């Protein structure tokens, strides 16, 4: 059975941090500069994506400690949702892949995302079910080769039978380095050009074995 792995941010859903940061500032009362400097520039989001804080509660407690800003999981979701918009052609490619093999979301994100995906993206969750591979749970981020190896191990798949879609050239290169067939979603400015993703899925499904 073939395995189809899809990145989430900027692949299945368009994502704009410029929408999220102002929302977080409005919710918490802290300035955008303060939040960006302390949490993101301080490397805490990267650490969270690596699984340092395994639950949303632990993440939000550390966020409060570092930034001094109080943020509930509901508020985190609200700001995240404002920055995220589904890409219809990508969702259609995901749905198509689900008829051809096993599909899964494969994303670099922290624990609040892992816990919130069914609410943030019910359309995606309806297709992939519990097949949600998030870096905070894996303990490693793309493009580290171990991330792809763990993803394939989870489903008992081999590189030759695995397809991966992502918007990041580095992540695509990481997948190709371990033998996975990878598709790079192109962007023109901030606009995803996802019309070719279903064709890429079909080309992989129809490859010579």
In this predicted model, what pLDDT tens digit does every residue of 2-39 receive, in sequence order?
Answer: 999 999 999 999 999 999 999 999 999 999 999 999 99
| β-pair type (102-107, 132-134) | parallel
Q: How far is CA 49 from the centre of its chain?
A: 10
User: Quick one: 148 and 192 in the same domain?
Assistant: yes
Q: Are residues 137 and 39 in the same domain?
A: no
Number of domains in the chain: 2
Tell me the CATH number at 171.
3.40.50.1000
Do 10 and 93 belong to one domain? yes
Q: Which residue has the tokens 């900027």?
A: 10
Residues 64 and 100 grouped into a single domain: no
Residues 127, 94: contact at Cβ < 8 Å?
yes
Picking from 82, 106, 134, the residue at the C-terminal end of a domain is 82
Range of the domain at 40: 17-82
* Burial annotation 80-108 (CB, 10 A radius, 16+ → b, else e): bbebbeebebbbebbbbbbebbbbbbbbb
The angle, 0 to 180 degrees and rounded to 10, between the axes of the packed helices 169-177 and 145-155 is 60
Beta bridge pairs of residue 156: none
What secondary structure letter does DSSP report for 186? P
Residues 10 and 100 in one domain: yes
25 and 10 within one domain: no
Q: Given pLDDT bands bounded at 50, 70 and 90, which one contains residue 182? A: very high
Domain endpoint, select from 65, 82, 99:
82
* 54 plus 141 within the same structural domain: no
**Alpha carbon of 67 to those of 17, 37, 52, 59: distances in Å?**
18, 9, 17, 12
77 and 121 inside one domain: no
pTM, two decimal places: 0.96
Q: How does pLDDT run across 92-122, given as a tens digit for each residue?
A: 999 999 999 999 999 999 999 999 999 999 9
Give yes or no: residues 38 and 64 share one domain: yes
Res 200: pLDDT: 98
Inter-CA distances, 55 with 24, 49, 115, 157, 193, Å: 20, 11, 8, 28, 34
Choosing from 82, 104, 133, the residue where a domain stops is 82
């Amino acid at each position: 059975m073939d395995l189809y792995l899809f990145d989430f941010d900027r692949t299945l859903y368009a994502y704009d941090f410029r929408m999220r940061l102002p929302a977080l500032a409005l919710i918490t009362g802290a300035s955008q500069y303060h939040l960006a400097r302390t949490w993101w520039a301080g490397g805490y989001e990267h650490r969270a994506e690596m699984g340092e804080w395994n639950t949303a509660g632990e993440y939000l407690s550390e966020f409060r400690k570092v930034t001094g800003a109080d943020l509930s999981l509901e508020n985190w979701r609200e700001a995240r949702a404002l920055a995220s918009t589904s890409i219809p052609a990508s969702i259609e490619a995901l749905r198509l892949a689900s008829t051809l093999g096993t599909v899964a979301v494969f994303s670099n994100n922290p624990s609040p995302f892992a816990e919130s995906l069914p609410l943030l993206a019910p359309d995606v969750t309806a297709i992939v079910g519990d097949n949600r591979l998030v870096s905070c749970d894996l303990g490693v981020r793309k493009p580290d080769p171990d991330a792809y190896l763990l993803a394939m191990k989870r489903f008992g798949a081999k590189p030759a039978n695995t397809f991966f879609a992502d918007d990041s050239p580095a992540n695509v290169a990481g997948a190709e380095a371990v033998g996975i067939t990878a598709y790079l979603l192109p962007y023109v400015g901030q606009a995803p050009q996802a019309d070719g993703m279903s064709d890429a899925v079909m080309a992989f499904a129809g490859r010579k074995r």
